[in-house]
Amino acid sequence: MSTDRSAPPLPLARLGLIAVFVTALITSQVTASKLVGIDMPFSVPLAGSTLIVPAAAFAYAVTFFASDCYAELYGRSEATKLVNVAFAMNFVLLGLVWLAIKAPILPGPGSVSQSVFASALGPSTSIVAGSMLAYLVSQNLDVFTFHFLRDATEGRALWLRNLGSTATSQLVDTLIFISIAFLILGNMSLDDAAGLMIGQYLVKLAVAGLDTPFVYAVVGFVSKQDLETAAVPSD
C-alpha cells in the first residue's frame, strides 16, 4: 500500500515574496560595510546636509516591505517562520563567503587580488554582530507590531500597519545596528554615530512611505493569484 506524500505546490506569487525577502536580506549583509552620502537641500540636526547611511539600508528596507506583505497575506505565524528561517540563512551566507575568501586564489588576468576580495566581501565582526542582533529583534518586532495594529483596526487601514510597524521596527533596528557595529565595537564617535542613526532612519522612513502603494498592489495581486491557484483542482 503506497501513500502519496507529495506536498501541494507553493503558489508562485508566495514563492516570489519569499525570494524577494531573502534576496534583499542577503544583499544587505554583503553591502553593510559601505557608507553612502545623500545630499539634502536642507540641514538635519546632528546629521547635517548630507545624510550618511550604510549602503545596506536600501536593500534592508525592502525586507520590511516584503515581510509586511507576507504578514498581511499569510498571518503572523507564517511571517515569523519566514523571518527566523531567513535569520539562519545569514549563517549560510557567512560560511559560503568565508569559504570563498579562504580558498586559494589563482593569480592572473581577470582575477582580483586576495586582499581586495577579502576586504570587499569579508564582513567585520562588528558589522556581523550588529546586523545579526538588529535583524533578529527588529524583524520579529515588525511582525508583532503589524498584527497588533491589524487587530486594533479590525483589519482596516493596511497603510497604517505598514507604516506603523516599519517605523517602529526600523527605529529599533537602526539603534541596535549603529550602536553595536559603529559605536561599541567600532571606533566611531558618539556624534558621528548619532548622525548616522538619524540619516539611516530618515532614509528608511522615506522608503517605507514610498512603498505603501506597492504593498497594496502586491497584496491585491498575490491574493488574486492564490485564489486562482486554490480554485484549480490538483492532479
Most confident of 16-20, 185-189, 197-201: 16-20
What is each CA distance from 59 to 27, 30, 98, 161, 224, in whole angstroms? 6, 10, 22, 21, 27
Alpha carbons 48 and 134: distance in angstroms, whole number: 25
Q: Are 222 and 17 in contact (CB under 8 A)?
A: yes
CB 51 within 8 A of CB 40: yes
pLDDT more than 70, % of the chain: 90
Question: Which bin fits 46, alpha (ψ -120 to 50), beta or left (φ > 0)?
Answer: left
Say which residues have a Cβ less than 8 Å from residue 95's Cβ, sequence separation at least 6. Answer: none
Q: In the prediction, which pLDDT does 144 show?
A: 94
Please give the pLDDT value at position 233: 53
State the Rg of the chain over Cα: 20
Return the bridge partners of 35, or none: 54
Tell me, what's the pLDDT at 235? Answer: 52
Is the predicted pLDDT of residue 18 greater than 90, yes or no? yes
The whole model's pTM is what? 0.82
Domain 12-101+121-225 has CATH 3.30.360: no
User: Which stretches of 34-110 are DSSP H helices?
Assistant: 56-102
Structural domain boundaries in the chain: 12-101+121-225
Q: For residue range 207-232, list pLDDT tens digits in order.
A: 888 889 999 999 998 888 766 666 55
Residue 124: its pLDDT value, please?
65
Which residues 6+ apart lie within 8 Å of 109 measured at CB? none
Task: Quote the pLDDT of residue 152.
Answer: 93
Give the pLDDT of residue 169.
93
Q: How far apart are CA 169 and CA 136, in angstroms?
A: 11
Helix 12-30 / helix 56-102 crossing angle, nearest 10 deg? 70
What DSSP letter does each residue of 179-209 carry, written as one string? Answer: IIIIIISS---HHHHHHHHHHHHHHHHHHHH
Cβ pair 127, 93 in contact under 8 A: no
Mean pLDDT of 133-152: 93
> What is the maximum span of the chain, computed from C-alpha positions, in angstroms?
74
- Residue 114 CA to residue 102 CA, distance in Å, equals 9
**Euclidean distance between CA atoms 73 and 58, whole angstroms:** 24
- Check whether 36 has a pLDDT greater than 70: yes
Mean per-residue pLDDT, 96-125: 79
DSSP 8-state secondary structure symbol assigned to residue 53: E
What tens digit of pLDDT does each residue of 45-54 get?
A: 878 888 888 8
